[in-house]
Structure 1
Amino acid sequence: MSRLTDRLRAFHMSYWAPTVRTMHRWALVAVIANAGITVTGATVRVTKSGLGCPTWPTCTPDSLIPVAHPEHSPINMAIEFGNRMLTFAVLFTALACLLAAIRLPQRRTSLVVLAWLQPVGVAFQALWGGLVVRTMLNPVTVSVHFVASIALVAACWALYARAGEGDGPAKPLVAPAARVIGSLLIVAVLTVVLAGVVTTGTGPHSGDVAASRFDFDLETVARIHGTSVYAVVALTAGLWLVLRATGAPARAVRASAVLFGVVLAQGAVGYLSWFLAIPAYLVALHVLGATLVWIATLNAFTSLRVRGPLATAPTDVLVATSRGS
């Protein structure tokens, strides 16, 4: 019992009386949580559970939680309601990040600003999710919902990266050519994501049989999506080669290699999905891959520069402990 009490107290202190290390950990948890709910949202869609709870903020017109409904199976209702409940876990993580940033012994404005984006972003996503349901999974609102998820993951990564470095001006660690390629990669990956969103919004997995689709030719948008992937592959390979050739730091070389591997795996899943007539399980896996590609891209990009070491006072832990007592 005492061990459990100690762990609960340590957990509480991690955000109420944080150190630099616990702040960094909470930021990483936020990245994972937001990436996770992005994937579970895709699971809702491919299982045709998007209208499992046909209204919002309640599940049905007469109940906050799932109850027997003639038009929706209990499984679909449970999947959609479960995904809604995950929002509270993501919100808790966001609030923990904000508290940790505010209560750091050496408060950093940059972290507080980035941390505020977490609960604001989660609140926006919750409200927009309600709009998605009320518009009967209109592909435009669904697409905005996913793009907002990607933006929130980027905000979480920015907080994670900033929590592990100082507040000095960004100083490049690599050759100018590598920096240019890194910037182009951000644009290219975002282009792939947007093309993928349109492709998915045109394809068969609408989230419910009653949902509308984009009125595009599926093969055409899929080809555009695939072509944009080639650009990402070429840029990623080019970044790795330039970093190796110019003696860049090992971290940057590793980050580009990881990105290259994730991009290749994601491309393989995409082509397999197309040739197998877009099965639901591969669509969900492809969304997971897209999220991982985005995170790996952000990791590669932030590895190209440094803001200097953290200004960590040796008394951080003592100050944090005294705060919580």
Structure 2
Amino acid sequence: MNRLADRLTASAFHRLLWFPTGETVRRWALAAVVVNAGIAVTGAAVRLTGSGLGCPTWPRCTPDSFVPAAHDEHSSVNMAIEFGNRLLTFLVLAVAVACVVAAVRLGRSKGERGRPVLVRLAALQPIGVLVQALWGGLVVRTLLNPVTVSVHFFLSIGMIAASYALFARAGEGDEPVTPLVRRDIRALGFALAAAVVVLVVAGVVVTGTGPHSGDEAASRFGFDIESVVRLHTDVAYVVVGLTFALMFALRVTDAPGRAMRAALALLGVELAQGVIGYVQYFLAVPALLVGVHVLGATLVWIATLRVVFLLRSRGPAGSAAAPDDLAGLRHAVV
């Protein structure tokens, strides 16, 4: 019975990977969104548990071993946590490779024309994993310098954006972009996305200034913590205000319901994130709440991307642009 179940599972996996549909690519892309968000949060957990240098070397864990080994200066728990996060890289890489294979194989089994834009977006995943892995080595070698740690998180944010773009594009056609709202409303959506990027940057600066460095040997930004927290809070108010403005504009212009619901969901995540931020501040930033706040930051980013993509359309999945439009489409992502 177990062998039969294993065969059925292997067969289903083979079909998902080698005979994909547009929906299959979307599923792999969604998996990429999840694992990239997950490794961003677990990376924060490494720092918050003081395990940032649990494996003091790279690519080895210790000077003489690729896996955790007894080390006088680092506890076995810290080493296990840091090494566990390194192992998650292989899961992210596996999903990234699956995205590429599915995008390349899309339509091939039926003799149909593939979709180069999906292949390009999917290719960003393994490239990003490689860059992240190499940069992770730099983070360790610089003893968790807050600049390198910050860039490490920004790379994860970029990976999430690329995987979400793949998810969105796999579920629509290749027609030229058709705005579903007025031009000024779409511009407001882009302004909101830019403000969220600034919010994430400000949040990373707060984190790099705060008490959770990841290791006693790690340095910190030399900013005044009260000042950077105030700046982060002010940017958060701007983001919430822009979200309210977008919701109001969508409402009064009778915009598509999906876009309105996406904006409402974004507002809900922002408000929850704000509550967590205030609670962690008044409780002297306990590590657990900081980790939850990092998770909230990734969810705000994902929800923002969803709003932006729902403000326009490229036609239903399976639709194709006229031959004259194909050259321009080769360089299009959104």
**Shorter chain as normaliser: what TM range?**
over 0.9
Q: Which residue of 1 aligns with 2:158?
A: 151
How big is the shift at 1:3?
2.7
User: Which residue does 2:52 correspond to in 1?
Assistant: 50
What per-residue deviation string (whole Å, max 9, x for no partner) do you get for residues 60-103 of structure 1? 00111001111111110000000000000000000000000011
| 2:15 aligns with one of 13, 16, 22 | 13
Aligned-partner Cα distance in 1 for 2:269–2:160: 17
- TM-score by length of structure 2 reads 0.92
Alignment of 1:237 with 2:236, yes or no, is: no
* Equivalent residue letter for 1:180: A
Task: Among all aligned residue pairs of Structure 1 and Structure 2, give the percentage whose two residues are the same amino acid.
Answer: 62
Cα shift at 1:312: 7.0
The 5-angstrom pairing of residues 80-119 of structure 1 reads: 80-105=82-107, 106-119=113-126
Q: TM-score w.r.t. structure 1 length?
A: 0.95
TM superposition shift of 1:176: 2.7
Report the Cα distance in structure 2 between the residues aligned to 1:279 and 1:222, rounded to whole angstroms.
15
- Give the alignment of 1:294-309 within 5 angstroms: 294-309=301-316
Where structure 2 has 5 or more consecutive residues not aligned to the other structure, the ranges are: 108-112, 321-334
Q: In structure 1, what is the equivalent of residue 260 of structure 2?
A: 253
The answer as to whether partners of 1:114 and 1:158 remain within 8 angstroms in 2 is yes
SS in 1 for 2:51: coil
Q: What are the residue-to-residue correspondences of 1:167-246 with 2, within 5 Å?
A: 167-246=174-253
Shift of 1:12: 2.0
Do 2:195 and 2:238's aligned partners in 1 also have CA atoms closer than 8 Å?
A: yes
For residues 238-281 of structure 1, give each alpha carbon's deviation from its aligned partner in whole angstroms, at most 9, with x where no partner exists. 11111111111110011000000000001111111111111100
Q: Matches of 1:3 and 1:151 in 2, distance apart?
A: 38
Distance 1:13 1:245 in 2: 46
Deviation at 1:24, TM superposition (A): 1.1
CA distance in 1, matches of 2:137, 2:207: 20
SS in 1 for 2:58: coil
- CA–CA distance in 2 between the matches of 1:12 and 1:226? 48
Runs of 4+ in 1 over 3 A off after TM superposition: none
Q: Distance in 1 between matches of 2:69 and 2:114?
A: 47
Please identify, of 173-182 and 209-218, the stretch whose mean Cα deviation from structure 2 is larger.
Answer: 173-182
How far, CA to CA, are the matches of 2:261 and 2:196 in structure 1? Answer: 19
User: Which residue does 1:316 correspond to in 2?
Assistant: none
Once the two structures are TM-superposed, the CA of residue 170 in structure 1 deviates from its matched residue by 1.0
Distance 1:90 1:16 in 2: 19
Give the Å deviation of 1:20: 1.5
Give the whole-Å Cα distance in 2 for the aligned partners of 1:6 and 1:22.
17
8 Å CA contact 2:185, 2:250 repeated in 1: yes
SS of corresponding position for 1:51 = coil
Deviations 1:288-321 (A, max 9, x none): 00000000000011010000011179xxxxxxxx
In the alignment, the residues of structure 2 paired with residue 266 and residue 64 of structure 1 have an alpha-carbon distance, to the nearest angstrom, of 38
Which residue of the partner structure matches residue 166 of structure 1? 173
**1:12, 1:72 → 2: CA distance?**
42
Alpha-carbon distance, 1:177 to partner: 3.1
SS at match of 2:17: helix
2:64 corresponds in structure 1 to 62
Greater Cα shift, 245-254 or 7-16 = 7-16
CA distance in 2, matches of 1:303, 1:18: 24
- Contact 1:30–1:94 at 8 Å: present in 2 too? yes
Q: Over the residues paired in the alignment, what is the CA RMSD in angstroms?
A: 1.1
